[in-house]
Structure 1
Amino acid sequence: MDDSSSTTARHVLFLNWRDTANPEGGGSEVYIERIAAELVAAGHRVTLLCAAHADGAPEETNSDGVRVLRRGSRHTVYARAALTYLAGRLGLGPLGRRRLGLPDLVVDVCNGVPFFSPLYAGRPVLALVHHVHREQWPVVFGAVMCRLGWWIESWLAVRLYRRCRYVTVSEASRAELAQLGVDATRIEVVPNGTPPVTGPALPRTDHPSLLVLGRLVPHKRVEIALRTVAELSAELPDLELVVAGQGWWEAPLRELSDALGISDRVRFTGFISEQKKHEVLSSSWLALTPSLKEGWGLTIVEAAARSTPTIAFRYAGGVAEAMVDTETGLLVDDEAEFTARVRELLADDVRRKAMGEAALAHAARFTWTATGARFAELVGRLTAARR
């Protein structure tokens, strides 16, 4: 069926390298999943094409109206996406006219490497960039791949998508894209939402407690949180750090924990359910976001929704917009200040509680319903001319 017969409903195709079922999925995947759900609720049709993964997820699923096609691996998904789409244009595959209709809009999620969809889509393309990866390339890759990746992101992609609209999640990311040469008038900012808190109110731990929530990868810099605990251990003998999340960098983090002599103070939880996430966000005294770079800071607002303030780095992109510095949390400039501010807030119950109350009010500003509506309005504008 070809969607062109409808005046309101659109078929939106997201190209992303992962989905939330992927063990390495993170905030970017949550954003796509929640936006997709809101678009479906608004009457649109959504397909997500992403990489397959080894945990047994089927090649194709259809949950809550979002059709997920898993093709290729982490590295081959880009080529498989192009081949699948081109087969669909010929009416031969799952995106073809004979089955579900070609999309009205392709949302190309550029996680450092884009899908190069303007070369083959034949439809309007919206480039979704959470943040620029300038700082992350040398942290994750060697010299050659670092230079290649940065060239693709900072030079090639800017030129390939020069006729496309962009969407990002923060003004900080918008400014970075503009510095690369993307016309700022072509960039829309649609920030993350925050799901409503459905679990019961829970008490804080009876001992000082810290939380790092997110994927365990090098650029999240959980090492800084571990070194902070090591430095404060003598003055706070019952201090605990919960590291909630999974990722390929867990083994080095455990080794560092052992080397620092704080293994009895650090609890690695691995993947946690939504209920468990609510528990650790609610019970912790402080949340820590030592990440090198974030497009937004989803976990900061999730913590705020449980009245838990966060400490993060001022230069780390969108985190400065996910909180209000000195009111709902603290932004710092270096590791020494990071540790000092953790020490101060753990010792100041009155200030910490006041920050938590302000954080709760701040988090209420960001809802997925509002975010989805803004994204749907953007979808409508980008597809109206073609229709």
Structure 2
Amino acid sequence: MRVVVVNWRDLGHRYAGGAETYATRVANAMAARGHEVTYLTARDAGQRARDLDATVAVRRLGGRWTVYPLALLWLLARRRRIGAVVDCQNGIPFFTPLAVGGARVVQVVHHVHTDQFGVHFPAWLAALGRWLEGPAARRVYRGAATVAVSPSTVEAMRHRLRWRGAVHVVPNGNTVAPDDLPPRAATPTIVCLGRLVPQKRVDRLIETVTELLDRVPDLRLDVIGGGPEETALRALAARAGGAVVVHGRVSETEKSRLLGRAWLNVTLSDGEGWGLAVLEAAAHGVPTLCRDVPGLRDSVRHGETGWHVPPDLPMADALHRALKDLTDAELAARVARDCRAWGACFDWEATGARFAAVLERHLAEGGQPGWLPGMPEATVAEHVPGGPLLVEQCAPADLLTELRAAGSRHAEVRAASATERLLGRAIPADTPARPHARP
């Protein structure tokens, strides 16, 4: 079957980030299952219009804004030859169901952009963006399957976009950290890993570190990543007297070296779908301090692999307290072990398989069932043959009826936890939690 993955950027784009990694991994997973896959995206300066010699063919059209109408025209011209479309929404939808006729569409939502439109655009354009992401998308994608990368993204879609269709959770994967990491730095060292864009609030982090130097004179911050804010952030870092280094994009080897030395990863982002950098840091044994916002409250396990900072607690105080706690060698070692264990729960092969299962189920079953307010997003059935069973987007009463009709007389059902939805499997009720010191 011919599958087209539509995303506004590819990994070769100068501003590529986690969404591009996700789209690329999904495209590769579809190709590995025997489908003919085309990755349809914008063309950045210096990129070729086509890359056709790889497992996934890449077709680049237009720029930041023109890619949207050009992608629709490209799909419209080929609609009879396309079996399925993976439509990755990054704030402004592509609205591919309007162009592909009977082809099945799986929409991917990383996070809800409602508030971020006001950061990037004038009021009238921000209002248009919110309408496109909300009411317009609800109507156009009503027959599509929808995938979100975290439970809190689903929650934001329900409450802020008033989304009523079925939404399946397929989180990001993760990569394995190298074995030859350097020892942790002798002095408090933090990292900020990710794209350098306004909503990540890296400028606030640099200001916070500068403020903390009176209390922690040997504090250091390494900013890793590239983006449109890089030049401005370098100028801001210069005022910190050497305490802050903006490295820009670095090699994988250098990134692992910087992460391996770090005590803590810090992000002040306004919101994430997931926070791919958080799991990358966790794989290196590095916890994350973050604001209590959607996405990050899923990828960072509060008190175990990092800490969520409540709105009423100044970030400088939270950061100071976390660094003070991490001076305890036993606590730091325990947190590092928990981080590595959590990071190891996610891999791209599993992500690709789960995404493919959603797509293939959509192809087999057609239209998506509705979601009713108050219905759990996922349900766990216990006391069934083979052990606990997790089922997404199914009313508990319907599931229980089917199980008992199949002979599972002692079956019981309950709502799945956020962690179970991320992992795609049920967790025994007696599994202990391991909270640590919290800012």
> Quick check: TM above 0.5?
yes
Structure 1 match to 2:286: 308
Structure 2 match to 1:41: 32
* Correspondence 1:146 to 2:126: yes
1:329 pairs with one of 285, 289, 306: 306
- Equivalent position SS for 1:295: coil
1:263 Cα deviation from its structure 2 partner: 4.3
C-alpha distance in structure 2 between counterparts of 1:213 and 1:135, whole Å = 22
Structure 1 match to 2:385: none
C-alpha distance in structure 2 between counterparts of 1:341 and 1:63, whole Å = 50
* Correspondence 1:384 to 2:368: no
Q: Does the CA contact (< 8 Å) of 2:189 and 2:264 recur in 1?
A: yes
1:152 Cα deviation from its structure 2 partner: 1.0
* Correspondence 1:82 to 2:62: no
1:336 Cα deviation from its structure 2 partner: 4.5
C-alpha distance in structure 2 between counterparts of 1:257 and 1:222, whole Å = 10
- Equivalent position SS for 1:228: helix
1:171 Cα deviation from its structure 2 partner: 0.7
C-alpha distance in structure 2 between counterparts of 1:297 and 1:140, whole Å = 20
1:188 Cα deviation from its structure 2 partner: 0.7
* Correspondence 1:68 to 2:48: no
Structure 2 match to 1:157: 137
C-alpha distance in structure 2 between counterparts of 1:11 and 1:26, whole Å = 26
CA 1:256–1:142 in structure 2 vs 1: closer, same or farther (change >3 Å)?
Answer: farther
1:172 Cα deviation from its structure 2 partner: 0.7
What one-letter code is carried by the residue in structure 2 that aligns with 1:281?
L
Q: Percent identity?
A: 39
- Equivalent position SS for 2:78: helix
Structure 1 match to 2:47: 57
CA 1:291–1:253 in structure 2 vs 1: closer, same or farther (change >3 Å)?
Answer: same
Q: Does the CA contact (< 8 Å) of 1:170 and 1:190 recur in 2?
A: yes
C-alpha distance in structure 2 between counterparts of 1:290 and 1:164, whole Å = 33
1:103 pairs with one of 70, 73, 82: 82
1:40 Cα deviation from its structure 2 partner: 2.2
C-alpha distance in structure 2 between counterparts of 1:120 and 1:26, whole Å = 27
* Correspondence 1:194 to 2:174: yes
Q: Does the CA contact (< 8 Å) of 2:9 and 2:42 recur in 1?
A: yes
* Correspondence 1:341 to 2:331: no
2:164 pairs with one of 183, 186, 194: 183
Q: Does the CA contact (< 8 Å) of 1:192 and 1:296 recur in 2?
A: yes
- Equivalent position SS for 1:40: helix
- Equivalent position SS for 1:204: coil
Q: Structure 1, residues 202-250: CA drift from partner, whole Å, max 9, x if none?
A: 2122322111111111100012211221121122222111111111122
Normalised by the length of structure 1, the TM-score is 0.89
What one-letter code is carried by the residue in structure 2 that aligns with 1:271?
R
What one-letter code is carried by the residue in structure 2 that aligns with 1:375?
F
What one-letter code is carried by the residue in structure 1 that aligns with 2:30?
L
Equivalences for 1:203-242 in 2 at 5 Å? 203-242=183-222
Q: Structure 1, residues 127-170: CA drift from partner, whole Å, max 9, x if none?
A: 11111101211111121111111111111111111121111101
Q: Does the CA contact (< 8 Å) of 2:237 and 2:246 recur in 1?
A: no
Q: Does the CA contact (< 8 Å) of 1:199 and 1:278 recur in 2?
A: no
**Which runs of 5 or more residues in structure 2 are unaligned?**
367-439
Q: Does the CA contact (< 8 Å) of 1:345 and 1:352 recur in 2?
A: no
C-alpha distance in structure 2 between counterparts of 1:202 and 1:63, whole Å = 38
C-alpha distance in structure 1 between counterparts of 2:241 and 2:71, whole Å = 43
1:45 Cα deviation from its structure 2 partner: 2.6
Q: Does the CA contact (< 8 Å) of 1:307 and 1:357 recur in 2?
A: yes
Q: Does the CA contact (< 8 Å) of 1:140 and 1:219 recur in 2?
A: no
Q: Does the CA contact (< 8 Å) of 1:311 and 1:342 recur in 2?
A: yes
Structure 1 match to 2:22: 31
**Which runs of 5 or more residues in structure 1 are unaligned?**
1-9, 90-96
Q: Does the CA contact (< 8 Å) of 1:37 and 1:64 recur in 2?
A: no
Structure 2 match to 1:6: none
1:166 pairs with one of 137, 146, 157: 146
Q: Structure 1, residues 180-208: CA drift from partner, whole Å, max 9, x if none?
A: 23225x11110111012245222122322
Q: Does the CA contact (< 8 Å) of 2:111 and 2:153 recur in 1?
A: yes
CA 1:84–1:273 in structure 2 vs 1: closer, same or farther (change >3 Å)?
Answer: same
Structure 1 match to 2:268: 290
1:335 Cα deviation from its structure 2 partner: 7.8
1:88 Cα deviation from its structure 2 partner: 2.5
CA 1:108–1:263 in structure 2 vs 1: closer, same or farther (change >3 Å)?
Answer: farther
1:322 Cα deviation from its structure 2 partner: 0.7
Q: Does the CA contact (< 8 Å) of 2:181 and 2:256 recur in 1?
A: no
Q: Does the CA contact (< 8 Å) of 2:194 and 2:225 recur in 1?
A: yes
C-alpha distance in structure 2 between counterparts of 1:198 and 1:67, whole Å = 30
What one-letter code is carried by the residue in structure 1 that aligns with 2:182?
L
Structure 1 match to 2:380: none
Q: Does the CA contact (< 8 Å) of 1:346 and 1:352 recur in 2?
A: no
What one-letter code is carried by the residue in structure 2 that aligns with 1:23?
R
1:297 Cα deviation from its structure 2 partner: 1.3
- Equivalent position SS for 1:48: strand
C-alpha distance in structure 2 between counterparts of 1:335 and 1:270, whole Å = 32
1:64 Cα deviation from its structure 2 partner: 4.7
CA 1:340–1:28 in structure 2 vs 1: closer, same or farther (change >3 Å)?
Answer: same
